[in-house]
Chains A and B, each alone.
Chain A
Amino acid sequence: MTALAWRAEANTALLRVIGRRILAAIPTLVLATFVVFSLLHLIPGDPAQAIAGEHATPERLAEIRSQLGLDQPFAMQYLDWLRHAITGDLGTSLSTGEAVGTLIWQRLPTTLTLGAAALLLAVGIGVPLGIASATRHRKPADTAITGVATLGIAVPNFWIGMVLVLVFAIHLQWFPATGFVGLSENPLQTLQHVVLPAIALGLVGAAEVCRQLRSALIEVLRSDFMRTHRAKGLSHRTMVWRHALKNAGLPLATIIGLLVSRVLGASVVVETLFAIPGLGTLVVEATTQRDYPVIQGVVLVTALLVLLTNLAVDLSYRFIDPRISE
């Protein structure tokens, strides 16, 4: 078999894997949206009441319910939503009448920017610290780093956020305490606004990356082939960066994948704390208003993001370790 043919075959194999994974994701998406839809109907409170206000007459409530299709049976409401969602129509907000797709589209870039910055920070801090810690196994530096990382995992991100605001926004006035400016409006201001929330969101991730990488690296550094490398006379630096890190790549990719969903979840808290108009604040606002279509839309998009991340992580395994294939 020529090299070219082999590569073509590998590519189709890859495509087949991607295709299969995407198909497998569909039931997950349906299940996720169904669970959220059911939960929404389980929590007390009524969008009609939220729209009509406190002393609405029962007639007015009934009228609003029928306008919004809330008088339909539960399963019908869900199927109706699903039918439209498949065609890309996420419906309109119950409280403002705006298209849910538009609302999400306005907010998504903000959350993605913030999430990306947080991930960058988690990896940028976590990886060097993890290496430093593993290569100084059982030395004071290792103990110190591990200690700080454990603390980092234990401290809730909203608390970190509050301390950051107090020190860097109020006392030093280096960074803004709240709000967000889009990349397309003014990238410099985006950077200023993103620093504190990204730290609040990413620091826990950095601690986790550090700890996972440390234990993976220690494992690798102890293995026989590393001893061979050392005997061969490779420099410490080459050993760690070229050989050990590559072998610790799988757990690293896994933890980064997990961090994506963690960061998306935590953005609800951090965006509220910093008054950032992203998906997190949108879903909080929508929940208090019982704005079902908006909540459903955000859940769908978030679930989609997580599934895509998982797919990317799975595929990255094949590149990190070519021995892994179907």
Chain B
Amino acid sequence: MKLMAVVWVLLLALTACSSGAAESGQHLRVAWRSNPSSLDPQRGNSGSDHAILYSIYDTLVSFDPKTLEPAPGLAESWNQDDPNALVLHLRPDVRFHDGTPVDAEAVKYNIERAKGRQSNIKSDVASVTGVDVLDARTVRLNLVRPDSSLLLTLADRAGMLVSPTAAEREGDAFERNPVGAGPWKFVEWRYGQRVRVERFPGYWQRGLPHLDSIDFTITTDGSTAVNALRSGQQDMVFNPPPQDVGLLGAAKGTKVTSSPQLYQLIIYLDLSAPVFRDERVREALNLAVNREQIRKVTQFGQGEVGWTPLPSEHWAFAEDRVPTYRHDPARARQLLAEAGHADGLRFPLLTYPDPVNVRLAEVLKHQLGKVGIHIDLIPNELTQASSEFFNKRKYPALLSAWTGRPDPGLTYKLMFTERGYYNAGHVATPGMDDALRAANSTPDLVRRSEHFGTAAQIVADHSLFVPLIFPPAVAAHRENVHGFEANLLGKPKFTSVRIER
């Protein structure tokens, strides 16, 4: 018993000099959900890599954080007069972290590397047939066909310029020693533990960034990340579990910012599956879903209900032309009867086993059950579920999400054209190709937006998928973290963040 007393005294002594040992200066500690799949932008494959990649790499083209309209990046301007070419004018005197100039040769190297053997983003630059260096600061991408979606694609992985010198020197080891032209340079990647970056003094945007360094600590469990934030061990957490958002907003010391994002929870349908070949069945699904109830029950009233692949803040969201499915169980039942399912209909729905998805799936089961559509939930882990639905096509429907792409052209192409990977049944829909071709033939955003409106209408008319809800992008942070600007892409950038002590 004496021993126990000694132990307790020691423990108490420990706590006296304990936690939250405040670090000084502009150092940000971010709890990040997953280990990067790679720090080479052309080799990774996970959408959750971007926040870390954006800190190390600057992109050729940037975007307006609110609407995702293209904005100048490493290219200060561009010219699309010839629809079969994209001419980029680069900023003067920009250098990579290793001193290599960011010039036309570097751009040529990067595009060719993206088309090369080791690249995972070949499809992003598929329309580029060749790259011409016109002078040190001007480069022309020659296109196989007009492709105005390429511009915003250069705000994604394909536009994240890697230093040609470092890429050549490191070869396969480049992903472990990445060199870009972003606001911070790479310091360390401890696999599955953390990624550390520190300020690049030669960054081309004067006065930026504010932070001297960022630690991305890999914290796979959402609740654990919330705990670390509340106890003061981390400064910032993204997309905490929905049930914790209210708590973090109300708690002392932490703040919450919610903003719209492209990420949408949806049901993917295999249009070639016998049960979904009939459009009336697909429409019935869309009418039977009560989106507002989903928003209230699964998102605690946050977020925006989904009608199209794009949220209302997006530049290509054509307000007047966007179709809406009202919640209409009677009409749904009638459509099912017309399609020969008067006695009801049953199909398996693949889903993920995490709490958010399971809750959503259960609500859907209830809502659809009311009109006689009975779903059997098949919970499966993410990689497996995707493979079974998109590659093996073992199930007719998958409850998952669309994470968005910088250009809406890619979203429609991947999800709804005949060869699109996310169109699991690979069924073509009349009019879709024409609408997208038209949208990709003009650089004018107003006209593009109109064509995407047509595409949205085609998707809705044929009920090609079941849009559900855009959950908000939530950034929770300590109250001394200021200046964070969320973007519609939902992939955070930290350039404007600073810490006030």
Which A residues form the contact surface with B (CB < 8 A)? 43-46, 49-57, 60, 63, 93, 95-98, 103, 106, 124, 128, 162, 165-166, 169-170, 172-179, 188, 191-192, 195, 272-275, 277, 281-282, 284-285, 288, 290
Q: B9 contacts the other chain (Cβ, under 8 Å)?
A: no
Taking a contact as CB atoms closer than 8 A, the residue among B7, B18, B221, B225 that contacts A124 in the complex is B7
Taking a contact as CB atoms closer than 8 A, the residue among A55, A173, A179, A284 that contacts B217 in the complex is A179
Distance of A277 Cα from B18 Cα, bound (Å):
20
Q: B79 contacts the other chain (Cβ, under 8 Å)?
A: no
* B387 & A281 in contact (Cβ 8 Å cutoff): no
Q: Which 8 A-B pairs have the closest CB atoms?
A: A53-B45, A174-B15, A55-B421, A177-B231, A177-B227, A178-B228, A277-B193, A169-B231
Distance of A169 Cα from B67 Cα, bound (Å):
40
* A128 & B233 in contact (Cβ 8 Å cutoff): no
* A178 & B227 in contact (Cβ 8 Å cutoff): yes
A188 / chain B contacts, CB cutoff of 8 Å:
14, 17
Apart from A53-B120, A172-B15, A277-B218, list 17 A-B contacts with CB within 8 A. Answer: A43-B384, A44-B387, A44-B388, A49-B387, A55-B414, A124-B7, A170-B231, A174-B14, A174-B18, A174-B19, A176-B19, A177-B227, A177-B228, A178-B219, A275-B221, A277-B190, A288-B382
* A170 & B230 in contact (Cβ 8 Å cutoff): yes
Given contacts A177-B227, A177-B233, A192-B18, are A281 and B176 in contact (CB under 8 A)?
no
A98 / chain B contacts, CB cutoff of 8 Å:
176, 191
Q: B35 contacts the other chain (Cβ, under 8 Å)?
A: yes
Q: B383 contacts the other chain (Cβ, under 8 Å)?
A: yes
B4 / chain A contacts, CB cutoff of 8 Å:
128
Q: B324 contacts the other chain (Cβ, under 8 Å)?
A: no
The 30 sampled A-B contact pairs (Cβ below 8 Å) are A44-B387, A49-B391, A51-B37, A52-B120, A53-B44, A53-B46, A54-B386, A54-B421, A55-B421, A56-B45, A60-B120, A60-B122, A97-B172, A97-B176, A124-B7, A173-B232, A175-B14, A176-B18, A176-B19, A177-B224, A177-B227, A177-B228, A178-B228, A188-B17, A192-B19, A272-B224, A273-B224, A275-B217, A277-B192, A281-B192
Given contacts A44-B384, A51-B45, A55-B123, are A273 and B11 in contact (CB under 8 A)?
no
Taking a contact as CB atoms closer than 8 A, the residue among B176, B224, B383, B384 that contacts A96 in the complex is B176
* A45 & B120 in contact (Cβ 8 Å cutoff): no
Distance of A98 Cα from B390 Cα, bound (Å):
31
What is the distance, in angstroms, from A124's C-beta to the closest C-beta of chain B?
A: 7
Q: B429 contacts the other chain (Cβ, under 8 Å)?
A: no
B19 / chain A contacts, CB cutoff of 8 Å:
169, 173-176, 192
* A173 & B231 in contact (Cβ 8 Å cutoff): yes
B382 / chain A contacts, CB cutoff of 8 Å:
288
* A54 & B45 in contact (Cβ 8 Å cutoff): yes
Distance of A288 Cα from B221 Cα, bound (Å):
13
Q: Of B3, B225, B228, which is in contact with the most chain A CB atoms at under 10 Å from its CB? A: B228
Taking a contact as CB atoms closer than 8 A, the residue among B1, B7, B11, B227 that contacts A169 in the complex is B227
In chain A, what residue has the closest Cβ to B173? A97
Given contacts A175-B18, A177-B228, A178-B233, are A285 and B387 in contact (CB under 8 A)?
no
Distance of A173 Cα from B19 Cα, bound (Å):
7
What is the distance, in angstroms, from B409's C-beta to the closest C-beta of chain A?
A: 15
Query: Which chain B residues (345-388) contact chain A, with CB distance < 8 Å?
Result: 381-384, 386-388
Given contacts A98-B191, A192-B19, A272-B220, are A52 and B45 in contact (CB under 8 A)?
yes
* B45 & A170 in contact (Cβ 8 Å cutoff): no
Q: B430 contacts the other chain (Cβ, under 8 Å)?
A: no
Query: Which chain B residues (416-447) contact chain A, with CB distance < 8 Å?
Result: 421-422
Taking a contact as CB atoms closer than 8 A, the residue among B44, B228, B230 that contacts A179 in the complex is B228
B207 / chain A contacts, CB cutoff of 8 Å:
none
Q: B274 contacts the other chain (Cβ, under 8 Å)?
A: no
B35 / chain A contacts, CB cutoff of 8 Å:
285
* A272 & B45 in contact (Cβ 8 Å cutoff): no
* A177 & B230 in contact (Cβ 8 Å cutoff): yes
Q: Of B191, B217, B225, B228, which is in contact with the most chain A CB atoms at under 10 Å from its CB? A: B191
Distance of A265 Cα from B218 Cα, bound (Å):
21
Q: Of A44, A54, A290, which is in contact with the most chain B CB atoms at under 10 Å from its CB? A: A54
A96 / chain B contacts, CB cutoff of 8 Å:
175-176, 191
B391 / chain A contacts, CB cutoff of 8 Å:
49
* A176 & B231 in contact (Cβ 8 Å cutoff): yes
What is the distance, in angstroms, from B90's C-beta to the closest C-beta of chain A?
A: 29
A55 / chain B contacts, CB cutoff of 8 Å:
123, 414, 421-422
What is the distance, in angstroms, from A194's C-beta to the closest C-beta of chain B?
A: 10
A43 / chain B contacts, CB cutoff of 8 Å:
384
Contact with A along B394-408 (1 / 0, CB 8 A): 000000000000000
In chain A, what residue has the closest Cβ to B37? A95
Taking a contact as CB atoms closer than 8 A, the residue among A106, A282, A290 that contacts B383 in the complex is A290
* B176 & A275 in contact (Cβ 8 Å cutoff): no
Given contacts A169-B19, A188-B17, are A284 and B228 in contact (CB under 8 A)?
no
In chain A, what residue has the closest Cβ to B29? A179
* B224 & A275 in contact (Cβ 8 Å cutoff): yes
B190 / chain A contacts, CB cutoff of 8 Å:
106, 277
Contact with A along B172-196 (1 / 0, CB 8 A): 1101100000000000001111000
* B227 & A170 in contact (Cβ 8 Å cutoff): yes
B18 / chain A contacts, CB cutoff of 8 Å:
173-176, 192
What is the distance, in angstroms, from B280's C-beta to the closest C-beta of chain A?
A: 30
Query: Which chain B residues (250-296) contact chain A, with CB distance < 8 Å?
Result: none
Distance of A100 Cα from B467 Cα, bound (Å):
43
B1 / chain A contacts, CB cutoff of 8 Å:
128
Distance of A106 Cα from B192 Cα, bound (Å):
11
* A45 & B220 in contact (Cβ 8 Å cutoff): no
Distance of A195 Cα from B12 Cα, bound (Å):
11
A97 / chain B contacts, CB cutoff of 8 Å:
172-173, 175-176
Distance of A128 Cα from B227 Cα, bound (Å):
33
* A273 & B123 in contact (Cβ 8 Å cutoff): no
Distance of A296 Cα from B150 Cα, bound (Å):
43
B117 / chain A contacts, CB cutoff of 8 Å:
63
Distance of A285 Cα from B22 Cα, bound (Å):
30
In chain A, what residue has the closest Cβ to B123? A55
In chain A, what residue has the closest Cβ to B383? A45
B217 / chain A contacts, CB cutoff of 8 Å:
178-179, 275
B228 / chain A contacts, CB cutoff of 8 Å:
177-179, 275
B3 / chain A contacts, CB cutoff of 8 Å:
124, 128
* B192 & A288 in contact (Cβ 8 Å cutoff): no
Q: Of B193, B221, B232, which is in contact with the most chain A CB atoms at under 10 Å from its CB? A: B193
